[in-house]
Amino acid sequence: MAQKRVVLEEGILKSNDLLAQKVREDLRRRRILVTNLLSSPGAGKTALLEALAQNLGPQMAVIVGDVQTRRDAERLERHGIQAVQIVTGGTCHLEARMVLRALEELQGTPRYLFIENVGNLVCPAGFDLGEQQRWVLLSTPEGDDKPLKYPEAFLTSHVLVITKMDLVPHVPFDVDQAEAYARSLNPRLRIFHTSVITGEGLEALLAHLEHTYRSLFPDA
C-alpha cells in the first residue's frame, strides 16, 4: 500500500510539474512576474499583500488559496486590487491545475501576480505552481527554530520575509539565529525584515520586486 501510494504521488507530482511549466511559460509571455507565498497560518501573508497593494495598486493581482472561506480575497479586494479565490475544500496546498483554472478568471495584465498559498509550512513546499520566485514568510512569534523544523519551505524559496518585526521586544525570537538557520539550509536566500505596523522593510521589498521584474523582462 505504501509503495503504491508513493508511485501514485510521484505521478501526481510529475503531472503537476507539466502544468506548472505551462503556467510559467504563459505568464512569462504575458510579462507577469509570479510570486508564490508560503507560510504557517497567521504569519501575515494577507497583511503583507495588503501593504504591497497600497503601493502597487492595480499593477498587482492575487490568487488566494484557502481551505475554507473567501475572507482573504475580500480583504484584498477592499484595497482595489483583483483577487481570485481558490477554496481547496480540505487540500493542504495549491496545485498548478488550480492556478491554471484561476488564471482563466484573471482580468487584464497585472505586472505582479502573487499566489497566496494555503497557510501551511509543510505541504505547499513540494508543489511548483509555475512561479518565477517563491517567498517564505516567518513571523517572529513562531520562533527562530522553524527553518530547521520545516526545512523544505526554506530550501525551495528565493526570499525569506521575516514578518511582525514589531513584536520582537515581546517574543523570544533571535533574528540572527533565525537567519543563520535559514542560510545553513539555503545560502543564497535573500532576507527581508518587515512589519506592516511600522512599515519596516516594505520599501526594500518593493525595490526587490521592481528589480526582479526588470531582470526577467529587460525589454518591458
Residue 97 makes CB contacts below 8 A (sequence gap 6+) with: 16, 19
Kindly tell me which residue out of 16, 120, 157, 195 binds a copy of itself, with binding defined by CB under 8 A: 120
b/e code 47-74 from CB counts within 10 Å (16+ = b): bbbbbbbeebeeebbbbbbbeeeeebbe
Kindly tell me which residue out of 13, 122, 175, 191 binds a copy of itself, with binding defined by CB under 8 A: 122
In terms of Cα–Cα distance, which of 127, 96, 116 is closest to 23? 96
Identity of the residue numbered 204 = A
Q: Is 166 in the site for a copy of itself (CB under 8 A)?
A: yes
Shortest distance (Å) from residue 92 CB to a copy of itself? 4
- How many residues of this chain interact with a copy of itself, rule: CB under 8 A? 41
Compute the distance between CA of residue 201 and CA of residue 217 in angstroms, rounded to an integer: 24
For a copy of itself, the closer of residues 92 and 191 by Cβ is 92
Shortest distance (Å) from residue 12 CB to a copy of itself? 7
Quick one: which segment of 16-24, 128-136, 144-152, 207-215 binds a copy of itself (CB under 8 A)? 144-152
**Please, what sign has the CA dihedral across residues 132, 191, 153, 46?**
negative
Using H for helix, E for strand and C for coil, what is the string for 13-51?
HHHHHHHHHHHHHHHHHCCCEEEEEECCCCCCHHHHHHH
Q: x/- contact string, 48-87, with a copy of itself (CB under 8 A)?
A: ------------------xxxx-xx---------------
Q: Is 95 in the site for a copy of itself (CB under 8 A)?
A: no
Kindly tell me which residue out of 79, 158, 164, 208 binds a copy of itself, with binding defined by CB under 8 A: 164
How far is the CA of 206 from the CAs of 52, 60, 127, 147, in angstroms?
A: 7, 12, 26, 24
- Positions in 177-216 near a copy of itself (CB under 8 A): none
Positions in the binding site for a copy of itself (CB under 8 A): 1, 4-5, 8, 11-12, 15, 40-42, 66-69, 71-72, 90, 92, 118-123, 126, 139, 141-143, 145-146, 148-152, 164, 166-167, 170-171
